[in-house]
Structure 1
Amino acid sequence: MSIFNTRSRGGSRNGRSDISRSRIKKETDMPAQSIGNTLIDIFVEAGIKRIYGVPGDYNLRFLELLESDGRIEFIGTCNELNACYAADGDARISGFAVVTVTYGVGDLGLLSAIAGAYAENVPVLVLSGAPPEYASRSGALLHHTLADGNYTNVLKAFEQFTSAQSTLTAQNAGTELLRLIKVAWTMKLPVYAQLPSDIVDAPSERNTPTPNYCFPSSDKTILSNVINFFVHRLERAHSPVILIDALADRYGVVSDILRIIEKWSLPYAVMPTAKGTCPEDSSLYLGVYFGQKSRNGLFELIGQSDLVIGIGVRFVDSTSAWFSQRIRADAWVNIEATQVVSFKQSFENVEITELVSTWLKWDTDRHPRSTNSSQSVSIKPQVNIVWGQHYFWSQIEAFIEPHDIIIADNGTSLAGVNALKLPEGCSIVSQPIWGAIGYTCPALLGTLLAAPHRRQLLFIGDGAFQLTGQEISTMLRRGAAPIIFLINNRGYTIERMILGPNAHFNDIAAWSYEDLLHGFGGKECGKFIKVGDISGLQKVLQNPSNGDRLLLIEVSFDPLDGPPGLSEFGKMARDYDYPTSYGMSSVKS
């Protein structure tokens, strides 16, 4: 039995399993053990198989215990930022991940990645090895601090970007870690803990409580009212649509939502952040809803619908074509993590997994069929017969196989992937809301370890790659075999589309990418191919032949060559960011 009661998670399309499949052992009559070993036990029982990080003097003893225990593998990365990106990628597939670093230089080094996890609803726990308690109590001037005796500033920084924080003590370490894990798991947000170095070997508290990681229960009366509300609205709607966002995947309710969709014959669309979570070959699938830039009539279809049920939908600038969504106010209903919001009324204390599972069980013979039609919707990209990104992405669409994991960095890569029709069971890992370029290369390390039996494709631009590409060395060291498409536009193409198409500030150094595998110490574990024309691409895609080796494919394009829609995306960003300079012809404040 899982210590995490996931109720309706079911069979997740991205291969995610329950965080744990065993129970905490009772500590009665067991000899006292150290706090460090107790924390390891808790992580093991929470299903953690890997902890990412970078060693530093304040977390070294914990890492010694971790290595000697042997049940959890430490995955050392090139830097702390990459470690957290890798944990983020792992958590998107496995459901929850942990990263450990040292204090100050380490945890602040990954703060941007944790902010990204918060923005994208990814549960990651940061365990920061902190200075000893006696030093912080006395205000000692230590390294990795500001040398001012302040030991609260780092914790305060993380308060802004995590859902819960704690400095562990000898009296509460186990209890507090359990609390933090529950918060991360139930809220789908990152958490932060400091572990002072001098308590790692201290005796653990007795009677650490058995964990209870269940989602909060809904108010049963309100839950019943919500179900009646949905059924009432669905029975009277002529053109209902389901609009799915990433939160549905984070809470594991996609499979049940799809069953509801089939039961009621409801057309459905996905937000860009949820692409890859739902089948795209269904006759009910409408496509990706991107505000006014939605393709083939989807914008008008949703705008005219008399009932649009959102599943965790957030309209963010970069995922809504700069707030250009148009949905009738009286038609909009959104299921959020713990509430349902509609035009005239809201229902609080309704937990999303319980709501969806209850809705699915609703016994009715009334199956209204929507008058909406998805047959005209197609997201197939334009095919050009000349070399360029239009042609490249049309060929990539045919190259992708069922159940691939596709990791796409922001900019040209994500714009290209979002225009593809995906086969069954594919998953997409990206960071469109926080939007940190370079996120995907370390995230690939995490997805590789979380799902080693699935083929994994990374699409990343040269500018993004130069930020975090050193993490390929960790993949080579571990013998991982992803296929990496390095999109070389000789600079920041997405920025060129916004401002400065020919400006020097959008240029980057010209790396010799073919020498990287040798420089990273893994030439025998990897293969490099350079592509710059149609015949070269066809040869690679027909026979990638990477076998059990990492394959790095550099694909060269002109600096202003982007996938379909990228130039329009750049114009929308420019108009919104600089309204006094460039106007806001298509954006309302």
Structure 2
Amino acid sequence: MARFLHFSMALYTLEKESSTTNTTEQVILSKIEESLKNAQKPVVIAGHEVISFGLEKAVTQFVSETKLPITTLNFGKSAVDESLPSFLGIYNGKLSEISLKNFVESADFILMLGVKLTDSSTGAFTHHLDENKMISLNIDEGIIFNKVVEDFDFRAVVSSLSELKGIEYEGQYIDKQYEDFIPSSAPLSQDRLWQAVESLTQSNETIVAEQGTSFFGASTIFLKSNSRFIGQPLWGSIGYTFPAALGSQIADKESRHLLFIGDGSLQLTVQELGLSIREKLNPICFIINNDGYTVEREIHGPTQSYNDIPMWNYSKLPETFGATEDRVVSKIVRTENEFVSVMKEAQADINRMYWIELVLEKEDAPKLLKQMGKLFAEQNK
């Protein structure tokens, strides 16, 4: 009898907790629904937790049905389908494109989903987001107009957003800037490289960008539909993306992976090239040879020897690790025309890995990195 009573009390407690949680979720959803209906200039900001918990499709469906304007931080890029008309681009504090910055910061209601505000994703904390007009939900807690809410199911709330009724945004978006890339015989530069990448990437690709010039260039491009983005802006751990790209390619063989990694970062984890050859993987790897730690030169020590690295013969690395031409194609690219030609060749050849060395100037860096470097340098004084 005592055992049965104990079981009954445990069941009652479980049902009570479940009921309370469900009530909390409904309150949150009601608050979101009410706020969206009352807002004239709402905006949704999606973050990396949307990706971590596999909620990209739920967010995309919600935004697609409601036509709500949405942005992501670079730490959360690809949390929503970037081909949607309502996708504004990447918000990054004062480093954002000016019309996007003004749109986001003038919103009368902000719905943040799975966002963490970090230095490298907010323009060194130069964001201006009014918390009095914000509902922010994370996996461990929520903040509803400055009031903390706990003990709710983040995944359940985000998955239920598309069930909200009577919400359809009818306002204006911003004009997104697209430039047709017309290659020339000029030497390849950082700014032109990322214009070309944006133009040439295809649907169902995964872009992997090392935390250096690659991340600050690739995070600004608009991805095609059903694309993913992998980066590491939180800890800035260089060398992460080469093994990460290989692991992700093993896990998702249907999405062709395009890795962009600097020479300094590659030298930390290059031994994983042996794994890729053994597993017969087929990513397209772009090794940016700009003679050292360019990202660090932008932040501190542009002429210091600690930002120099030994010059390797990068195009010979696949052969060194035992690859044959029928498994890995190795190329060296110096001009815009060469980049476009090799990119198209690699995308068409889905059965082999492409190992492409991009030769760029030592002090050349994406505009966003140069701006971020100045902010970080000021903070470090």
Letter matched to residue 568 of structure 1: Q
Instruction: Choose which of 104, 113, 118 in structure 2 pairs with 1:302.
Output: 104
- Give the Å deviation of 1:284: 1.0
Counterpart position of 2:260: 459
1:351 pairs with 2:142: no
Instruction: Choose which of 331, 334, 337 in structure 2 pairs with 1:535.
Output: 337
Larger Rg, first or second structure (1 or 2) = 1
Residues in 1 aligned to 2:302 and 2:183: alpha-carbon distance in whole angstroms: 23
Residues in 2 aligned to 1:430 and 1:501: alpha-carbon distance in whole angstroms: 24
Residues in 2 aligned to 1:528 and 1:573: alpha-carbon distance in whole angstroms: 36
1:555 pairs with 2:358: yes
1:569 pairs with 2:372: yes
Deviation string, structure 1 residues 132-155 (Cα, Å, up to 9, x no partner): xxxxxxxxxxxxxxxxxxxxxxxx
1:494 pairs with 2:299: no
Does the 8 A contact of 1:381 with 1:420 survive in 2? Answer: no
SS at match of 1:225: helix
1:400 pairs with 2:201: yes
- Give the Å deviation of 1:561: 0.8
Cα 1:448–1:254 shift into 2, 3 Å: closer
Instruction: Choose which of 39, 47, 65 in structure 2 pairs with 1:237.
Output: 39
1:325 pairs with 2:127: yes
Cα 1:478–1:295 shift into 2, 3 Å: same
Residues in 2 aligned to 1:424 and 1:240: alpha-carbon distance in whole angstroms: 24
Deviation string, structure 1 residues 77-124 (Cα, Å, up to 9, x no partner): xxxxxxxxxxxxxxxxxxxxxxxxxxxxxxxxxxxxxxxxxxxxxxxx
- Give the Å deviation of 1:381: 9.6
Residues in 1 aligned to 2:161 and 2:337: alpha-carbon distance in whole angstroms: 52
Which region of structure 1 is more displaced relative to structure 2, 428-437 or 344-353?
344-353
Does the 8 A contact of 2:289 with 2:359 survive in 1? Answer: yes
Does the 8 A contact of 1:243 with 1:308 survive in 2? Answer: yes
Counterpart position of 2:236: 435
1:369 pairs with 2:169: yes
Counterpart position of 1:182: none
SS at match of 1:360: helix
How large is the RMSD of aligned CA atoms in angstroms?
2.1
Which one scores higher on RCO, CA 8 angstroms, separation ≥ 6?
A: 2
Residues in 1 aligned to 2:29 and 2:254: alpha-carbon distance in whole angstroms: 39
Residues in 2 aligned to 1:393 and 1:358: alpha-carbon distance in whole angstroms: 36
Does the 8 A contact of 1:339 with 1:351 survive in 2? Answer: no
Does the 8 A contact of 2:231 with 2:241 survive in 1? Answer: yes
- Give the Å deviation of 1:282: 1.6
1:280 pairs with 2:79: no
- Alignment map for 1:38-49 (pairs within 5 Å): none
SS at match of 1:293: coil
Residues in 2 aligned to 1:496 and 1:531: alpha-carbon distance in whole angstroms: 23
Cα 1:479–1:382 shift into 2, 3 Å: closer
Counterpart position of 2:10: none
Does the 8 A contact of 1:379 with 1:420 survive in 2? Answer: no
- Give the Å deviation of 1:512: 1.1
Residues in 1 aligned to 2:261 and 2:373: alpha-carbon distance in whole angstroms: 18
SS at match of 1:553: strand
Residues in 1 aligned to 2:181 and 2:137: alpha-carbon distance in whole angstroms: 35
Counterpart position of 1:34: none
Counterpart position of 2:70: 268
Counterpart position of 1:29: none
1:503 pairs with 2:304: yes
Residues in 1 aligned to 2:24 and 2:80: alpha-carbon distance in whole angstroms: 29
- Give the Å deviation of 1:436: 0.6
Q: Percent identity, aligned pairs only?
A: 27
Deviation string, structure 1 residues 177-201 (Cα, Å, up to 9, x no partner): xxxxxxxxxxxxxxxxxxxxxxxxx
Instruction: Choose which of 256, 278, 295 in structure 1 pairs with 2:58.
Output: 256
Letter matched to residue 497 of structure 1: E
- Give the Å deviation of 1:252: 2.1
The gaps in structure 2 that reach 5 residues or longer are 1-16
Does the 8 A contact of 1:267 with 1:370 survive in 2? Answer: no
